[in-house]
A and B are shown apart, each in its own frame.
Chain A
Amino acid sequence: DAGVTQSPTHLIKTRGQQVTLRCSPKSGHDTVSWYQQALGQGPQFIFQYYEEEERQRGNFPDRFSGHQFPNYSSELNVNALLLGDSALYLCASSLFRGAQETQYFGPGTRLLVL
């Protein structure tokens, strides 16, 4: 049973460019969350998708957008990249069960913005 997979593993972009990161959830999971982790910090919640809708959003600007497909996979898009967007981007999948929902994380995509 494959766990959460993310692509690409590493990415280098320049300021002002746009980037798309991809995530395939663990088999049987219907919910995908995205997190940003800057160096030396804990992961910060960006947003969560369930039934192809954004269910909740963290404190991130509109430059960060996402999408969930019918097969539950998801994309994170970041427009107009800034140097400060350099981080490890983590995808987590879960099966929604309210307060007991357990999220399983992928290996992450490391984005470097020059």
Chain B
Amino acid sequence: DAKTTQPTSMDCAEGRAANLPCNHSTISGNEYVYWYRQIHSQGPQYIIHGLKNNETNEMASLIITEDRKSSTLILPHATLRDTAVYYCIVRVPQAAYKYIFGTGTRLKVLA
């Protein structure tokens, strides 16, 4: 059911930028891209969302390609506490009330 594709796992050195890609090639014009992360079976934590413009907040930056078929979540200076599973979610318009989670990317930040 998931409309997004993410790599299963990634490693990143502490202090470096972590770039997490997401493919959403069937995205529609009014669908937002959301990113969440889940640290060791805690509840998912909201990170950022966007429609077509790049977005930045205190946690991360979201870069969406011009054709909107893919996006990248950037953690500018990864720390050990950023080790988590990261989920990229596209809001499905005919099911606008729910999030459809895929399997996410397991990011491991290495000391």
Question: Chain A residues in contact with chain B, CB under 8 A?
Answer: 4, 33, 35, 41-45, 48, 55-56, 58, 88, 90, 92, 98-108, 110
> What is the CA–CA distance of A98 and B32 in the complex, to the nearest angstrom?
11
Interface residues of B in 81-104 (CB under 8 A from A): 87, 91, 93, 95-104
> What is the CA–CA distance of A73 and B19 in the complex, to the nearest angstrom?
37
**Interface residue tally on B, bucketed by range:** 20 to 34
Q: In the complex, what's the smallest C-beta–C-beta distance from A68 to chain B, in angstroms?
A: 14
Does A44 contact B101, Cβ atoms closer than 8 Å?
yes
* Residue among B32, B99, B103 with most chain A CB within 10 A: B99
Q: In the complex, what's the smallest C-beta–C-beta distance from A57 to chain B, in angstroms?
A: 9
> What is the CA–CA distance of A44 and B102 in the complex, to the nearest angstrom?
9
* Residue among B31, B97, B100 with most chain A CB within 10 A: B97
Known contacts A42-B101, A43-B101; decide if A98 and B96 are in contact (CB<8 Å). yes
